[in-house]
Structure formats: structure tokens, C-alpha cells
Amino acid sequence: MRVLVLGGDGYLGWPTALHLSARGHEVAVLDNLARRQYDTELGTSSLVPIRDLSDRVDAWSRVSGRSITSYVGDLVDFNFLSGVVEQFAPQAIVHFGEQRSAPYSMIDRDHAVYTQTNNLVGTLNLIYAIAVNDPNIHLVKLGTMGEYGTPNIDIEEGFIEITHNGRTDTLPFPKQPGSFYHLSKVHDSHNIAFACRVWGLRATDLNQGIVYGQETPETTLHPDLATRLDYDAVFGTVLNRFIVQAVTGSPLTVYGKGRQTRGMLNICDTLACVELALLSPAEIGEFRVFNQFTESFSINEMAALVVEALPGSHTIDHLPDPRVEAEDHYYRAAHTKLLDLGLSPHLLDGEVIRGIASVVETHRQLVDPSVMRPLVDWRSVTTGAQPPPASPWLRAGQTLVESPNEFSFRSL
Amino acid sequence: MRVLVLGGDGYLGWPTALHLSARGHEVAVLDNLARRQYDTELGTSSLVPIRDLSDRVDAWSRVSGRSITSYVGDLVDFNFLSGVVEQFAPQAIVHFGEQRSAPYSMIDRDHAVYTQTNNLVGTLNLIYAIAVNDPNIHLVKLGTMGEYGTPNIDIEEGFIEITHNGRTDTLPFPKQPGSFYHLSKVHDSHNIAFACRVWGLRATDLNQGIVYGQETPETTLHPDLATRLDYDAVFGTVLNRFIVQAVTGSPLTVYGKGRQTRGMLNICDTLACVELALLSPAEIGEFRVFNQFTESFSINEMAALVVEALPGSHTIDHLPDPRVEAEDHYYRAAHTKLLDLGLSPHLLDGEVIRGIASVVETHRQLVDPSVMRPLVDWRSVTTGAQPPPASPWLRAGQTLVESPNEFSFRSL
């Protein structure tokens, strides 16, 4: 199968591309390298050193004898995107190409607007590029379990049958996302569902849980094939961060009560799920939703697993929750559709945690503890660091008073 | 009350500003005059001549002795918007300032992306401007009944109690919008609900039906105070268009079977509803939704009302439906909250239709029948009229093949 992986230079996009290539698919990646720019902006970097995209692709060619085509450019540039889709002529497109951090989207107005416009316009361009080039292309879009929020009823996979005043319909599951990032994914889901309905596109929305782990069968073939390991408070996913904290003797930072419960999955299961979705594509005109996680844990449970798995004594710091979220809530979410397609989950246990810890141990001299402090506060409203431009629109006699522009990072 | 009306130069924004000013509120309008640019782009114009914003404001001052402050600028420019909010210091902001036409959003990719980014970024900027300047400002946001689509159950006002697997929660009503424009309103609703939850903003989302009529008690005080009357296939609302067609002896153009049923309201009720919402503001942190319409009609019923009310013989043309929508569907939507606040509806009858027809009669020599043809086709996918820019991102040896760029207007 010919598969184009958008965001193919990222934490999950790159190992997905390798996995699909190893399994014999013809793979191209498209990326604007924005994730590397966020590192520069935030003063962070992957704990495991990663190579440039062109070096990675070359290394894969040497190691596997297989080639991955790379396109460097922006989904927001429609003509670039559409040109790639026409030239590579994929049968499926896997879309990881979005700004994926909730805290990043909550830094200030600039980052909120960037996140929503980047994700929304990229995905709008994508559905147009598919529609004009080949409506048969199967779009496999990465969403998030965070689209649902934490309703007080069971979460279903995308749709729910509702009986109301004696009538029944199956409708999109109501969404209560918890950040401007999560909101951008809800916007995407609505836009894609519409494109399937109106233009007969076929799409699978993978509402993914929180991913942990860094090694896959392909990335470990050579150091130049490694994917990112993020542990900072903005882009690091929580289990990876806990393990870095435990290995380096820092307290594990739990936000609030720690009873927030979320769906989780191993990085290897991400790759398997994407391939399963590709091999059993959505029908023409179908917008289907899979909840892509294998287990649910509360933050406290994750911290306890790490403490138990790793030698030494560890402390847990309960910090004030910088997010606005229910700290005690019901959580039960369906996730049977990928299992029905044949997923064999890699479950979380001490051995998995010790495996990640050994990767961290190898690079522990690179750990920067300062980046793990949660400095982005959901409740703090600031508007951005840029100086205000001149406002030619104001009428004579009016004055423009500058709005507060202090940076939003709260010191702990 | 100090009220800032965004989009205050538009079809409904202008008469709302006049109404609030006449009722003794201190009113400012903010507008980027985009609606007038759409006319230039589409080769259309209001059937009733309208004056420039500055002339309208001057006329109101002469006629009423009251002043309306005007700010010309773009909601997408945060510093402009925030400066206005700080300077005018409103207690409430009425937000009509969005691209409001479903067909316009469906012209091609450029118009879809414009509509969604314009509406989304303007509203994001607005919630930030409120949050940083004065979180107590009551946001009264114009949404649309089209956010709901046509589910096979009763539509409630924004939220629905769902019992599922033995548990119950009240959740956002599922949305199935039918165009990129309607989708933009759904995106806005999710973003605003989040801002209320996280920052304690107070907002009323008015999910408005299709508005008809052109005269209000204030706009008829002087010809320079008139608001728009649109009858074209892109911006004209359906009842206004039927009346223009009937008066000028053109066939009434019904799309598809004409059994599509929608909530409707008189322009005077729009003004009353906005004021009722302002006078009973949402609580701090509350995101409330009112369904703002007074009666439901199918397209066929509307056409029949016009035929019956106006003298002469009229023909009805059933054109192929350019939209993708259910032509036969269940439709029952709650709309009691505004009635509970005291709304006395102006219902649709022959006299109302003859009133609008007499306005049309006055300007009938200005009618351009060609603009009433529905040339925007939901099923036609085109990408825009701009030439593709150079793509510096393509690697050496790659070529960019231009995507189809023909314009999307389908001739009937």
C-alpha cells in the first residue's frame, strides 16, 4: 500500500513511517519540522538525540534497504500539499501533522490561535487535497481521547444512540475538550465528518490516549533511527516524565489530586493500530471513530507503578493542578473496535517501565530538571509576547491602549 | 448599559445597534466592512440602498439626537480589538462579526478556509480580549440553528440530558452542521464554552433561525438608516428571495423537494431577543444557549405563503438541491427560553409578506435576476482561484504538479 505520513518527522509519525516501511508498504513522509522549532522556542530537546529528517531517511535506507520519500513543507500551504498528494498518489494518508500539546496551546493567545489555525487549516487543506486528487484515499486522522472530556456516562467510540422524547437517533458523541489543542481536534473531527458526508470521503478518526515508550522494533535497529523522548512539562507525556523524574532522583510531579484518569497505550500499539486501520479501510462516505488506547490509569496509579518498578526511593509531589479539569470523575470508555480488528495490546508493567528507564539512564546526563516544571497555567490569561502593531484602522482622535502583554509563565 | 456591537455595519448588526441606542443604551459598533467587500466580489448589492457606516452614524445622530461610536477594523487583529474593548469598556458585547453565508463558505477551498479562520480567530481574539480586559463582560454571540443539523430527535437548547448504561449526564447537544460556515459556528460554540468553564466568562449563544424582513422601527425613521435587503443566492435569506422573485415575476426557486424545515424569525424579533439576552445576562462562568426562532416552516410552506399573500400568478421552480441536506426529515426544536424572558413574537403572515413586498416594489428596478441562481454547489470540490505560489520546500529533483484551479461556479 502507498501511504503518506503527515508529521512523519515527529515522535509518533517517524516510527509509524518506519513500521509501515518495514511491513512492505511504500511510504512517504511530509513534515514542516515545526516540532523541532518548538524545542528551540521552549529551550527543550528530546532526551534521546534524534537525527535530521534527511539523515534518518538515509539511515533507514542503509539499514533496511527500503526507501522513504520525504517532503518538507507545510500543510497550511495548499498547493504544496496538493502537489505532493498528486505526485506520490497515496492510497492512504496518516495525519499526525498537527501541534499536539495542550500546554503549548494554553501558553497565551498567540499559541492558542496558532494551534487552532495550524491544525484546522492543515486538515481543511488535506480534505480538499484528497477530494480534488483522489476521493478514494483513506484518511487516517489522529484525534485524541481528550476530545470527549470526562462525562458522567460511558464514552462510546465516536457516536452514541440517544433516545429522547420517544424518538431515537445515533449522533456524534458530545465533546467537552479541555484545552485549545483538544478543541482543535474536535473542530477537525466535525470538519472531516462533514467532508465524508458531502463528498463521500472515507476517514478513520483515531481518538488516541496518552502514549508512552520510545523504542519500537525499527527505531532500535540503529541509533540514527531513534524517535523523540520528551519529558518536559509542555510536550512530555506523563509516564515518560515520571520515569525521567524517578531515574534522576527528582520528585514525580502529580497535578492536583492525581485521580484524573486517562486512556493510555504503548508506542508499539500506536503503530499497530494505525496499520490495522489502514488494512481495513473505512467505506466510501464513512466517517468512523476508533478509541485508540488499551488501558486506563489514574495519574496516581501511574506514579505508583513507576515507584514500584524502579529501584531506589522516590517522592511524589502533588502540585496545584495547572489545568482546569475534574480531579475526581467517572471514567469508562469503550475501546473494542481496534481489538476486533486484531490488536494485541502491549500492557503496562514493571518490565515496560524498566525498559523506558534504561533508555533514560543512557542519556541521564542530558536531563534538564527545569523543563519539567509546569509553568503554563490554564487560568492565567495572557495575550502573547509580540509588540502590538500600529493600528491604521483607528479613527483620528481615538487612541489605542496596549493590552497586557506580560508573558504567561507562572513561576512556581 | 454600554454595548459594543461587532459586525455593527451588517444586515442585523446595524438595526440591532439602532434598536439598543433607541432604547437608551450606550452603543458602539465595530466592523471591518467585509460584507460590503463580498458584494464587490460577487457582483451583488443590497436591494435597498444603504449608506456608508459613517453616514449612517451621522444620520442616526441627526434623527435621534443619540450618538453611536464606530470603530472600523478587524476582529482578527487582536490589538485593535482589545484596544477598543479597553477604550469603550462595554458591559456587554453582541457578536455579529462573522462571515455568515453557507454558500459563500462552499464556493471553494479559499472561501472555506477564509470563513473558518475569520470566524474562529475573531472569536478566539474576542474571548481573550474579554478575559484580559474585563471578564465580567457579557458575550452575546450569534450562532445558528444550523449547528444542530436535522437529527431524528427533538432539538433542545444547547444541552441534552442523556441516560446511557444506567448513568445520566447533561451534555452539549450533538452537532451535525451542513456547511463550512455552519461548522465555524460549531467551532466557536465549543471554544466559548471552554472559555466560560476555564476563565469564568459569561456567554449567551443565540442559535438563530433564518431571519426575514428589512424594516425595523428605527431603520424606517430615515432612508439613510436603512439596513440591507439581500436576495441573491449566496447572501439572500430564503423568504426575502422568494418575495423578490414573486414581485418581479420570476419563478420562486425551491431547492430539491422543498420539505427542508427550518426555524425562522422576523428581523424585529432578532432585535428583541438580543436585548432580552442583554437584560438578563448569563451568570459568571455560565455558557447558555437559546434557540432564537419563533416558527418553523418548510421551504414549500414559505413559498406557498408568498404565493398566497401577493397578487398575481406565481410559479415555483424546483431546482436540483445544490446543498447536501436531508430533503425529508423530522424537525422539532425547543425555543422556550426567550419566550420565558418575555419575547412577544412577530409571526409570519400575509401582512408581513406584503410589507416586505412593498419595500421590494420601491426598488424593483434594481433587481438583478441573475444573482438569484444557485451557482454554488456543495458537491463540487474546487480549490480556489489563486495561482499556486512557488514552493521553496520541494527538494531538488521533485516537481510540483499544479492542482485543479478552475473556479467552482456551476452554470445551470
Report the percentage of chain A scoring pLDDT > 90.
92
Residue A92's H or E segment, with its range, is strand A92-95
**A304 has a pLDDT exceeding 90:** yes
Chain A / chain B CB contacts < 8 angstroms: 246
- Compute the nearest-CA separation of A77 from chain B (Å): 9
- What's residue A410's pLDDT? 29
A-interface mutation test, from B111, B163, B403, most A Cβ less than 10 A away: B403
Contact criterion met (CB below 8 Å) for B74 and B80: yes
The partner residue sitting opposite B83, judged by closest CB among A156, A171, A391, is: A391
Distance from CA of A315 to the nearest CA of B (A): 30
**Residue type for A362, please?**
T
| Mean pLDDT value of segment B166-176 | 98
Q: Which residues does residue B211 pair with via DSSP β-bridges, in sequence order?
A: B265
What is the C-alpha separation between A180 and A324, in angstroms, rounded? 12
Provide DSSP, B332-380. Answer: -B---HHHHTT-------HHHHHHHHHHHHHTGGG--GGGGS----TT-
Q: Which residues of A267-288 are buried (b: 16+ CB within 10 A; e: fewer)?
A: bbbbbbbbbbbbeebbeeebbb
**How confident is the model over B307-349, as pLDDT tens digits?**
999 999 999 999 999 999 999 999 999 999 999 999 999 999 9
* Pairing of β A2-6 and β A92-95: parallel
Residues of A in contact with B377 (CB under 8 A): none
- Type of residue numbered B340: D
CB < 8 Å to B148, chain A: none
CA-to-CA dists, residue A334 to A163, A189, A209, B175, B249, angstroms: 19, 18, 12, 21, 58
Q: Could you tell me where the DSSP H helices lie in B257-298?
A: 267-279
Residue A172's DSSP bridge partners are A159
Please give the pLDDT value at position A281: 98
DSSP 8-class letter at A372 = G
Q: Could you tell me how many helices (H) and strands (E) chain B has, helices first?
A: 12, 14
Cα–Cα dist A75/A6, whole Å: 8
CA A291-A293-A295 angle, to 5 degrees, is: 130
User: Measured between CA atoms, how close is A80 to chain B, in angstroms?
Assistant: 6
Rounded Cα–Cα distance for residues B137 and B130 (Å): 6
Q: Which of the residues A44, A115, A144, A216 is marked catalytic?
A: A144
CA distances from A392 to A134, A239, A398, B74 (A): 44, 49, 11, 11
Encode burial over A325-355: b for 16+ CB neighbours within 10 A, e otherwise.
bbeeeebebebebbeeeebebeebeeebbee
Catalytic-residue membership of A114: no
d(CA A169, CA A173): 12
Report CA dihedral (B8, B91, B88, B199) to the nearest 10 degrees. -100
- Predicted confidence at residue B266, as pLDDT, reads 98
Residues of chain B with Cβ-Cβ distance to A76 below 8 Å are none
| Number of Cβ atoms within 10 Å of the Cβ of A372 | 23
Q: Among candidates A219, A212, A313, which has minimal Cα distance to A269?
A: A212
Please indicate whether residue A181 is annotated as part of the active site. Answer: yes
Of the candidates B87, B168, B190, the beta carbon closest to that of A183 is on B190
In this prediction, residue B83 has a pLDDT band, given cuts at 50, 70 and 90, of very high
Q: Which of A238-252, B289-303, B374-388 has the lowest mean pLDDT?
A: B374-388
Grid coordinates of B242 = 422568494
Instruction: Say if residues A116 and B124 touch (Cβ distance below 8 Å).
Output: yes
Axis-axis angle for helices A53-64, A13-22 (nearest 10): 20
Rg (CA), chain B: 21
pLDDT for res B385: 52
Measure CA of the first residue to CA of the last residue in chain A; give whole Å: 50
**What residues contact residue A40 under an 8 Å CB cut-off, 6+ apart?**
none
Q: What average pLDDT does chain A have?
A: 93
Give burial (CB, 10 Å; 0-12/13-18/19+) of A161: exposed
* Residues of chain A positioned with their CB less than 8 A from the CB of B199: 379, 381
pLDDT for res A385: 52
Q: Determine the residue among B52, B190, B196, B406 to mutate to test chain A binding: the one whose Cβ has the most chain A Cβ atoms within 10 Å.
A: B190
Residue B41's contacts (CB-CB under 8 Å, 6 or more residues apart) are none
| pTM for the model | 0.93
Cell 473494542 -> residue: A336
pLDDT of residue A383: 80
| Joined grid coordinates for residue B240 | 426575502
> What band does B408 get if pLDDT is binned at 50, 70 and 90?
very low
- What is the average pLDDT across B234-254? 95
Q: Could you give the CA distance from residue B363 to residue B232 in angstroms, rounded to a whole number?
A: 15
Contacting residues for B77 by C-beta, under 8 A, at least 6 apart: A389, A391, A393, B125
Closest to B16 in 3D by CA, of B287, B340, B269, B205: B269
What's the one-letter identity of residue A25?
H
Of residues A79, A18, A83, A21, the one with CA closest to residue A53: A18
Cα-Cα-Cα-Cα dihedral sign, residues A52, A57, A58, A62: positive
Q: How far apart are CA A69 and CA A5, in angstroms?
A: 10
Query: In whole angstroms, what is the distance from residue A97 CA to residue B185 CA?
Result: 24
Question: CA-nearest residue of chain A to B130?
Answer: A381
pLDDT per residue as tens digits for the range A209-261: 999 999 999 999 999 999 999 999 999 989 999 999 999 999 999 999 999 99
What's residue B383's pLDDT?
80
**Going by DSSP bridges, is the β-strand pair B295-298/B261-266 parallel, antiparallel, or unpaired?**
antiparallel
**Residue B234 phi, psi (nearest 5):** -95, -50
Q: What are phi and psi of A287, to 5 degrees?
A: -115, 105
Label residue B28 by pLDDT band (50, 70, 90): very high
φ, ψ dihedrals at B355, nearest 5°: -65, -45
Q: Tell me the pLDDT tens digit for each residue of A324-365.
A: 999 999 999 999 999 999 999 999 999 999 999 999 999 999
Categorise residue B189: left if φ over 0, alpha if ψ from -120 to 50, beta otherwise. Answer: alpha
**pLDDT top residue among A263 and A396:** A263
Answer whether A214's CB lies under 8 Å from A267's CB. Answer: yes
Q: What does each C-alpha distance from B395 to A1, A4, A8, B204 come to in angstroms?
A: 24, 16, 16, 50
| Cα A119 from Cα A14, distance rounded (Å) | 19
State which amino acid sits at residue A194: F
CB A74 within 8 A of CB B391: no
Please check the confidence at residue A91 and state whether its pLDDT lies above 90: yes
Q: How far is residue A76's CA from residue A126's CA, in Å, rounded to a whole number?
A: 9
Q: From the candidates B4, B191, B199, which should be mutated to test the interface with A, based on the most A CB atoms within 10 A?
A: B191
d(CA A373, CA A44): 12
Alpha helix positions (H), A310-407:
337-340, 350-362
Those residues with Cβ within 8 angstroms of residue A118's Cβ, 6 or more apart along the chain or in another chain? A34, A76, A98, A99
> What's the count of helices (H) and strands (E) in chain A, helices before strands?
12, 14
Task: List CB contacts (< 8 A) between B175 and chain A.
Answer: 172, 190
Looking at residue A355, its amino acid is G
**Is B82–A152 a contact, with Cβ atoms under 8 angstroms apart?**
no
- pLDDT band of residue A382 (cuts 50, 70, 90) is confident
Which cell numbers hold the place of B208? Answer: 438563530
- Nearest by CB to residue A73, choosing from B183, B388, B391, is B391
